[in-house]
Amino acid sequence: MSRKNLLNLVSVDAARPAKPQGRPLLSPTIQSEEASADNKLVKQVGSTIREEKARQARADQIERRLAEGRTIIEIDPAEIEPSFIQDRMPGDIEGLIASIEESGQQVPILVRPHPDQTGRYQVAFGHRRLRAVQALERPIKAIVRDLTDEQLVVAQGQENNERQDLTYIEKALFADNLQQRFSRDVIMSALSVYKSDLSYMLSVVVRIPREVINAIGPAPGVGRRSWIELADLLAKDGSLELAQVFLDTGEAKALPSEARFKAVVSRLKPQSASVPADVWTADNGKRLAKVLNTDGKLEIAIDRKEAPEFAALVLETLETLYREHKSTK
């Protein structure tokens, strides 16, 4: 990295006064004072040059180590901006703030020099840590790397995958944000997923309105199948309006994100009508079994405590009864 000579130094020879020619016009005392001042200036300039060279050497060493990703430096959080691609939904960081306040920042964030603003940085990964340190009003520990846009989003996605910190829907939203600027190959590298997995992620975000996703939240523990099930339910007439009305209630907002997701799905699923079971009793009034007769099936539940011999007889003769039934057809 090129640097300007901040001191605008001149050479030692140029800094010296010109030697008088011929017989001196000043007294020996004045000449001695001038010589002393001359020597002092030479020493100051020489010291300044040595200090500048030492600073240059230290800066070069830091840059080499930064290029290798080994040096951790402290940066004012006010000089750092988030990534140009959002990778997570807003969430609670109180626990992280408490942890950093008690034990310090254990893991540095990764930043790059801002591509458009001199003297500023842009986060590749570590957004939650940045927010926590900002809240504590402390400098943040960071590794600075020169990264292209593609390298930044790949580092951002892969680091989140390593920590398994993003939920399924956050990864899907991240993929959707990335596809506005990058190829699918870059997105697959960033998320470490196969093409089919990426297709499912993008389809979920397309089929479920963004306002519904934001209202539900990150939903930790809710995976691909459940989000696809929600997408299928929302495709039915009236379901989207029903979900939006519920998510806008105080009841829904008071629930944790995962419970909120399950509550939405429960309200959208068709509720089967409860069919009362018939109780089958013997002539003496002894209860033998419960009989549940629905459109799809007939269920007979024999109480083995009340009639154990009868239950055993039914099991033994059931196959025989079926064969006799088939033979009469």
The model's pLDDT over 203-225, given as tens digits with 9 standing for 90+, comes to 999 999 999 999 999 998 899 99
- Contact indicator for 312, 318 with CB cutoff of 8 Å: no
Cα separation, 178 vs 172, in Å, equals: 10
DSSP tag of 288:
E
**Which of 76, 62, 59 has the alpha carbon at shortest distance from 4?**
59
What angle do helix axes 168-178 and 224-234 make, rounded to 10 degrees?
70
H or E element at residue 262: helix 257-268
Q: What is the pLDDT of residue 197?
A: 92
Query: What is the average pLDDT across 275-292?
Result: 75
pLDDT, position 62 = 44
pLDDT at 67: 46
Q: Is this prediction's pTM over 0.75?
A: no
| Alpha-carbon separation of residue 3 from 6, 53, 59, 204, 271 (angstroms) | 8, 12, 10, 50, 71
Indicate the range of 21-25, 51-55, 74-78 predicted with least confidence: 21-25
Judge residue 47's burial from the number of C-beta atoms within 10 Å of its C-beta, 0-12 exposed, 13-18 middle, 19 or more buried.
exposed
Tell the residue number behind the tokens 């951790």, with chain if given.
Answer: 72
Structure tokens at 194: 């196969």
* CA dihedral sign, ordered 78, 79, 85, 88: negative
Cα(309)–Cα(313) distance, integer angstroms: 6
Q: What is the pLDDT of residue 239?
A: 94
CA separation for the pair 141, 136 (Å, rounded): 13
Instruction: Return the percentage of the chain with pLDDT > 70, whole number.
Output: 71
Q: Rounded CA gap, 168 and 231, in Å? A: 14
What are the pLDDT digits (tens) for 224-235?
999 999 999 999
Q: pLDDT at position 5, please?
A: 33
- The whole-number pLDDT of residue 13 equals 36
Distances (CA, A) of 317 to 58, 300, 306, 311, 320: 92, 15, 19, 10, 5
Q: pLDDT tens-digit profile of 2-14? A: 333 322 323 333 3
For residue 294, pLDDT over 80 is answered with no
CB 107, CB 129: distance < 8 Å: yes
Q: Which domains does the chain have, with CATH numbers?
A: 12-67 (no CATH), 72-153 (3.90.1530.10)
Q: What residues contact 30, with CB distance under 8 A and at least 6 apart?
A: none
Q: Which residue has the higher pLDDT, 273 or 199?
A: 199
pLDDT of residue 163: 54
**Residue-wise pLDDT tens digits, 177-204:** 888 888 899 888 888 889 999 999 999 9
Residue-wise DSSP of 120-163: -EEEEE-HHHHHHHHHHT--EEEEE----HHHHHHHHHHHHHHH
* SS percent in the chain: helix, strand, coil, step 5: 55, 10, 35
Phi, psi of 144 (to 5 degrees): -105, 125
pLDDT at 113 over 80: yes
Q: Which amino acid is at 167?
A: T
